[in-house]
Amino acid sequence: MPPQITRKIERVNSALKKDIGELITSWLVDPRISRWTTVTRVHTTRDLGKATVYVAVLGDDHERSETLAALESSRLALRHVLRERMRIRHIPEIVFKYDDTIVETADVLAILDTVAAELPEAERAD
């Protein structure tokens, strides 16, 4: 991929992440959306036709599924507002996906804490 295309996609990803994050927290008024929803990253296809928006939702499975359902149902409205806010010719189709890297990271840290607690005192000092 030529460098100018890569930079353009990176700029679009960054702008979408910022704007969608702001819209979720301040513009969308859907009680199904968890207050603890964060846009973690955006991946846009090379042709700028589709943007996968990864969101982290702190809470249980029910909150996560409700939040994703609400975000999916507001995709068209979000694109409409993004069309007014962003200076690009075509706003990509938005697809929301749950980003479980935060949960996975917490699980790994818990395992590491367990292993560290089981180590003899002499080995922990090293």
pLDDT per position as a tens digit, 56-100: 998 889 999 999 999 999 999 999 999 999 988 889 999 999 998
Inform me whether the pLDDT recorded for 18 exceeds 60: yes
Whether residue 113 is contained in a domain is answered as no
Whether residue 121 is contained in a domain is answered as no
**Residue 9 binned pLDDT confidence (cut-offs 50, 70, 90):** very high
Q: Which domain holds residue 44?
A: 3-100
Q: Tell me how many domains the chain contains.
A: 1
Structure tokens belonging to residue 115: 């292993």
* Collapsed DSSP state (helix, strand, coil) of residue 89: coil
Q: Which residues contact 45 (CB under 8 A, 6 or more apart)?
A: 51, 92
Task: Tell me what pLDDT residue 1 has.
Answer: 61
* Collapsed DSSP state (helix, strand, coil) of residue 124: helix
The CATH number of residue 57's host domain is 3.30.300.20
Whether residue 115 is contained in a domain is answered as no
Whether residue 31 is contained in a domain is answered as yes
Task: Tell me what pLDDT residue 124 has.
Answer: 57
What does pLDDT average to over the chain?
Answer: 89
Q: Which of 92-96, 104-108, 113-117, 121-125 has the lowest mean pLDDT?
A: 121-125
